[in-house]
Amino acid sequence: MTKLFLFLFTIYFFTSCVQFKKVATSFNGNCRQLKKYSNYESNSIGQQSKYIFESSELTMLKQVYELDKLVDKDELVTIINLLEWTHKTIPYSYGFSGDKTKSFSNPRNALTMLKNKDDKNMVFVCRDMATALTEIYLSIGFKARTVTCISRYFNDNDVHVVTEVYCKKLKKWIMVDPSFNAYFIDNNNQILNLCEIRDHFANKLDLKTNSNVNINNLAFNSHKYLKYMSRVCFDFERAIDIEFGIENKSVKRMILNPKGYSKKKYTDSEYLQITNNTDLFWN
């Protein structure tokens, strides 16, 4: 239990306090490492995730912020509308360096963050942004999950947290990043999920972002974003079951770690499952 606590504290701390930490890596070097460690198992045996849409908090979230007004007859348009609304409504604290005079959202959920969005003493890091967007999607009835993207480098504890949402129209999960108003597109203009993004990096396949990547309405260099994501798309972590307020609960979580890589020591426990099964993790 002590090892689990230390691991989860490390993820929480660095998600909260480190943004784009300078680590001596290159885009090509990151891609080579992803290619080197790209061996996984593939079968659907294991616990399937549950997505809980019914709660008074989700109903309140939808009603108070009139999220129905962002719903379009085109499902993908709705997904992008909700991404952009979250990005514009909650200010992302890019580059936060641990100022102790600032406060984090407590409890960490969309209702609390939206209530305090104009408080200059509040900090909203990537985990906050992704948590809020995930809960906003749940309130509309979308399957969605908050996913932590983890670097492979032993001396690099930086992580980035994003949202994946299931699009029935595309019959697949897609990744959206409310911190940067970002998503990834392939040569066929298809929006990608994290599994596909990692594969594109590993195999040096063409990959681009949407044109309006930004931080608080200030344009952000998409090449810098690509390089950063190539560094942190090595391991992934998420809760197994998804519901409102999950960031404030002790729930079982899962880490996807490629075969053959053991420099970061993860330990199975009551609250943490380590797997190299892509079907299980991305179900």
**For the residues of 17-31, what is the DSSP string, one character each?**
H-SS---S--HHHHH
Residue with tokens 């880490």, as numbered in its chain = 255
* Domain extent at residue 257: 2-281
Number of Cβ atoms within 10 Å of the Cβ of 41: 13
Which residues have a Cβ under 8 Å from the Cβ of 94 and sit 6 or more positions away? 19, 179, 215, 216
In contact, 65 and 81? CB cutoff 8 Å: no
> For every one of its 283 residues, what pLDDT tens digit does the chain have, with 9 covering 90 and above?
444 444 444 444 444 444 444 555 799 999 999 999 999 998 867 678 999 999 999 999 999 999 999 999 999 999 999 999 999 999 999 878 778 888 999 999 999 999 999 999 999 999 999 999 999 999 999 999 999 999 987 667 789 999 999 999 999 999 999 999 999 999 999 999 999 999 999 999 999 999 999 999 999 999 999 999 999 999 999 999 999 999 999 999 999 999 998 766 677 788 999 999 999 999 8
Q: What is the per-residue pLDDT for 14?
A: 43
Q: Is the peptide bond before 107 cis (omega within 30 degrees of 0)?
A: yes
In contact, 203 and 193? CB cutoff 8 Å: no
Amino acid at 44: S
Q: What is the per-residue pLDDT for 180?
A: 98
**Main-chain phi, psi angles of 23, to 5 degrees:** -120, 140
Q: What is the per-residue pLDDT for 158?
A: 81
User: From CA 248, how far away is CA 245, in angstroms rounded?
Assistant: 6
- What Cα–Cα distance (Å) separates residue 192 from each residue in 93, 186, 258, 273? 26, 7, 20, 25
User: From CA 234, how far away is CA 225, in angstroms rounded?
Assistant: 15
Q: What is the per-residue pLDDT for 98?
A: 78
Q: Report, in angstroms and rounded to the nearest whole number, the Rg of the chain calculated over CA atoms.
A: 18
- What Cα–Cα distance (Å) separates residue 259 from each residue in 34, 40, 237? 12, 6, 16
In contact, 152 and 234? CB cutoff 8 Å: yes
In contact, 148 and 11? CB cutoff 8 Å: yes
Judge residue 62's burial from the number of C-beta atoms within 10 Å of its C-beta, 0-12 exposed, 13-18 middle, 19 or more buried: middle
In contact, 130 and 146? CB cutoff 8 Å: yes
User: From CA 235, how far away is CA 272, in angstroms rounded?
Assistant: 14
Tally of domains in the chain: 1
